Structure 1
Amino acid sequence: MDRNTTNGTHNSSDTCPSIDDFRNQVYSTSYSLIFVLGFVGNFFALAVLIKTHRQSSPFHVYMMNLAMSDLLCVMTLPLRVIYYVRKGQWEQGDFLCRISSYLLYVNLYCSIYFMTAMSITRFVAIVFPVQNLRLVTVNRARFVCLGIWLFSSLTSSPFLISGQHVDLSTNKTKCFEPPKHASNRLPKLQALNYLGLILGFVLPFLTILICYAGIVRTLLSRTLATQGQKGSAMKAIKMIVIVLLTFLVSFMPYHVQRTIHLNFLSKESTSCSEQSFMHKSVVVTLCLAASNSCFDPLLYFFSGESFRSRLSSMRHTVRTSILRPSARQKPIAGSENEENHRLDAR
């Protein structure tokens, strides 16, 4: 028996039981469900927002960009589903391997920044209502969105570096695989992780917490006299709940676990149980991170600025366009009945 096995520690994950079956099943099932829910919810929301684009506002601009970001994110998931259904065999080529990983993370961080921008917009509207009219405009919101897309695209570019590779032990072409134990890429990945952790999670989350603390404090200190003020307060509270839940359920576990996992991989010796737990936690938290696209439609519906009125407006427009052709056909039907009546009289 190997000495390392007796001591319960291993220098390499090769001697430990594989979690591939667990990984393939969880990823393929979770990504399929996230794709369906995220695609339907965000496509519907984007359709409503585009149809009512004339009622544009800064919040509307952020919601549209968030919906587009979520749609692009879920569109990368079918490739991952195919990969894990085939039990870790990649057959779509190196370019799609690189670009699908890249787009997932671009849109993940775009979602975080769009939520942050929406929170700041709501904060300024409630805490500084007079200055809000001058500071927060549609054109400025568009510039902010452009900056977010560019920043996320540039900072996620390291994900383009690693593409498909052949696993010599199984002779399979791999993609989406985490680094192996004591990999020579670890120092670079750890540095990139800390950069992403600070810029992509910690700073946005602290900004959101400060904004929400200011919103809650302002709402508690004011007497909400009119129905409109009460409605705005309820929208703000719903937004606080949904965004915080998204961060706590989707983004926080992923960023915390990713940091722990990369540090864990730099250890010289670890037990099989530790490795198994760590690898399974990678699977679960990445699924949670991808699931953020399912939470965002709730944000549009419950706290979006006039989103439900936009939905009613679109329904009315669609109903009118359906009824118009039938209204045009009524005189024709009437004239046919009159003609039939004349023939019967003869």
Structure 2
Amino acid sequence: MAGGVAVGAALQCRKRVPPGGDFRWSSVGGSDNGWENHLMTGRMPKPPPPSHRGPSPPPALQRAMVALQMGQVVEAERLAAEVLKANRTDVGAASILARALMAQRRNEEAIAPLERATRRVEDAGLETLLGAALGGAGRRSEAIDLLRRTTARRPPFLPAFQELAGQLAAAGRFDEAVAVIDSALALAPASLELQLLLAQILPHRNERGRAREILEKLRTVAPGHPDILAALARVLLLDGEYAAAADLYRQVLAQRPDDPLTRTSFSACLLEMGDRAAGEANLRLALRGRPQMIGRTTSALAMASHGRFFFRPSAVAKFLS
């Protein structure tokens, strides 16, 4: 759940790293432009915007909240901006405006209102959101420094730990990310979200067995949870258990048919199993209307043992169109 920059991380596995082997991290801001694949599905629960302080929120802010919850981010942006024009100190409006901007991948624009808000009030939720915006704007070192300060506060704000671990992993600092999650789990050992995040990062340290154990336990606690299924499928794919991974990816796609990254990973399984027709058909579905997916779909097609290789990007684009 953005918030972040795609990171390529080579893993040592039984044969080789299948296509799409890096993370997708979606920050608390809600955009999915972070660790972009399905070892990390990136849909961590997001902390709510800070509550409106003082009297009940004005009608425009209430409508902005509803619009954001409904995914109407342009309308949420417009309404929150109107509230801020009337009251520059409204931190609730600043939070909603920032979330709406980040959902549109306009992280840089979200930074200023959040910085103003954090200067007015000490709020761990706002600081976490600012950290996500900074990371999404490419200012990761600033994001990490801010989030380290936020995670040092007590009482702890767990989404800040999740965001910090995500930013560290996106920077390839996996040992530090695991240390952050371990410290958070010491405070909240029953947190499903933290355990899932840990299991999604562990394969980058070649600890797929430990990740698998965690995910199997989580699967019994939350059967059918798409993030857990996708993370477990990723581990199975890395271990070469393509049929089992494909079955889990089918279950995820039944819940999220428009998820191109899951579909690309599913295609990789099908190609490895020798089902070239179905694998290529799913790659076409993943690419359709999403030109930004050309790199991942090309990689999936070229790296599979039963895939194809093209010398020119235009040739593969034509083949998958």
**TMscore range, shorter length:** under 0.3
- TM-score of the pair, normalised by structure 1: 0.24
The structure with the largest alpha-carbon Rg is 1
**Larger relative CO (CA 8 A, sep 6+): 1 or 2?**
1
Normalising by the residue count of structure 2, what TM-score does the alignment of the two structures yield? Answer: 0.25
